[in-house]
Amino acid sequence: MKKITFLSVLMSLSLLIGCSKDEEGFNPETPPKEETPTETPEETPQGFILQPEEARSYMVDAAATDETVALFYNLKTLSDSHFVVGQQDAFSAFYNDIAGDSDMKKTTGSDPGMLGSDFMFITDDQNDGSSNNWFYQQESGIRNNAIKAYNNGMLNIFCWHFREPFEGNSFYTSEMTEFQKGNAFKSILPGGENHEYYKEKLQKVAEIAKGLIGQDGSLSPLIFRPFHEFDKDFFWWGAPYSTPEEFKTVWRFTVEYLRDELNVHNILYAFSPDNSYTTEAGYLERYPGDEYVDIVGMDNYGDLASQDGARLNLANQKLKVVSDIAIEKVKIAALSETGYFVTPSSSTLPPNFYSKNLYNVLTDSDVQVGFMMFWQNYSDSYTVPTPGMPGESDFLNFVEKEETYLLNDMPSMYSIQ
């Protein structure tokens, strides 16, 4: 029987300080040797403008709900000149544990435009669906916050820190056996030892997606980015543990099972590696195909971390690769995770981190992204400053830029005007 101790839960919570654990110390890595991709994006005509009636033809799900189509169209159109600013767990994680309004609202007067959530506890083996079960209580809170976000006009995005399928204890390879690391991902392939187990977890994902019903009676669209940061080695779905074709096979199965077998039609699918890539060829090595991806993103912490900003141009160029692919393929580009973790007792925020460093990464070189997301705040550290904390005035300068959209700035994203 798969078992997990409460201590391991607490360890998982403490470890989720941004996903790029190999970059927590912000030591830049040399990008790996990049191979030629199996497909080359077809260029769209110069000056191409997506029309509302064309949106479905560029989406993963031609049967998507009207609200999901509107979200795709609006994010794609908005990215020409603006980007939505989001934060992970904005309604449930607070600096200094001061609950109430989101930390972003405490500082700016507005909630973020996007709420980040996680399927981790929802799909945990110990979630038995009973009201007194800790994991089910987390599920209920996450579901309620996502519905609240939709009702308020915010966007919902879900990652998935999926525990490995043999023991169900961890998603970090540093806590796994060599057997688990070498076989976990392969075991969820169609025909694999844990494929049926994986299908059960996807059934839970589908249950949540189909239960996000807003006060208007409609399903909230959600952005789902499975297997994020797959280019690195710290998660069991990382590149060292599968071939590109195996990764593509699992990705395609995931989409087809949710869409075609479980009839989930309110999801946009986001492909989001970490920051290893510097070329289009490298970025597309594990890309499963245009018909399986709505959003192309990149997580990047390490390139923005140095005090002297030595890698900011590189960060911008990496995001430019993503932006160019999105333009060519008529997808949405995103900086799907980022942030600088400020621990007032031990770390110093680089000067003008938000209004210059991050802003320039997001806007230089004609980069076009539909959204960017800060990782969550913690009791002892933050990526979004609260009132009186270092970086507050600089963050206010950032969100006052013309391109940035918090909730108070956003048009309706779930209808096409």
Sign of torsion over alpha carbons 260, 262, 268, 271: negative
Do residues 352 and 401 lie in contact, with contact meaning Cβ atoms separated by under 8 Å? no
Per DSSP (E only), the strands in 147-231 are: 155-159, 222-224
Which residue in the list 67, 139, 164, 229 is annotated as catalytic? 229
Token duo for residue 284: 């597309």
Q: Encoding tokens for residue 356?
A: 């210059």
Active-site residue, from 337, 392, 400, 403: 337
Amino acid residing at 208:
I
Tokens of 181: 């690391």
Rounded to 5°, angle at Cα 4 from 140 and 243: 90
Q: What does the alpha-carbon distance between residue 253 and residue 199 come to, in Å, rounded to a whole number?
A: 10
53 is catalytic: no
Helices 244-256 and 178-187 meet at what angle, rounded to 10?
A: 50
Q: What Cα–Cα distance (Å) separates residue 56 from each residue in 231, 261, 265, 271, 369?
A: 29, 20, 12, 18, 20
Residue with tokens 């912000």: 26
**Residue 229 annotated to the active site:** yes
Residues known to be catalytic: 229, 337
